[in-house]
Structure 1
Amino acid sequence: MNTDEKNLKVVESYFNHLSKGEMEKVGQLIADDVIWHQPGNHQASGTYKGKQELFPHLGKMMEITQGTLKLEPKHIMANGDLVSVIIQFSAQREGKSMSMAGVDLLKIQDSKIKEVWLFSEDQEAEDNFWGR
Structure 2
Amino acid sequence: MPSPLTTWYDALAAGDLPRAAGALTEDTVLHVPGRSTNTGTYTGRDAVLGFVGHAAEVTGGTLDLTVHRVLDDGEWGVALCTYTATRPDRERPLENNLAHVARLRDGRIAESWLHSRDQYAVDEFWGDPVPASTALG
TM-score (norm 2): 0.85
| Aligned equivalent of 2:97, options 96, 101, 105 | 101
Q: Which runs of 4+ in 1 moved over 3 A?
A: none
- 2:13 maps to amino acid: S
Q: Give aligned-pair identity as a percent.
A: 26
- 1:44 maps to amino acid: N
- 1:14 maps to amino acid: W
Please tell me whether residue 46 in structure 1 is matched to residue 40 in structure 2. yes
- 1:103 maps to amino acid: A
Q: Answer 1 or 2: higher relative contact order, Cα 8 Å, separation at least 6.
A: 1
| Aligned equivalent of 1:92, options 86, 92, 112 | 86
- 1:86 maps to amino acid: L
Q: Take 1:88 and 1:21, find their aligned partners in 2: how far apart are those partners? A: 18
TM-score (norm 1): 0.88
The structure with the largest alpha-carbon Rg is 2
Please tell me whether residue 10 in structure 1 is matched to residue 12 in structure 2. no
Q: What is the DSSP-based 3-state SS (H/G/I as helix, E as strand, rest coil) of the residue aligned with 1:43?
A: coil
For residues 18-29 of structure 1, the aligned pairs below 5 Å read: 18-29=12-23
> How many positions carry a matched residue from both structures?
126
Please state how far the C-alpha of 1:20 moved relative to its aligned partner: 0.8
Unaligned residue ranges in structure 2 (runs of 5+): 129-137
Q: Take 2:25 and 2:47, find their aligned partners in 1: how far apart are those partners? A: 12
1:74-122 superposed Cα distances (whole Å, 9 cap, x missing partner) = 0111234111111111111024310121100111101111111001000
The match for 1:78 is 72
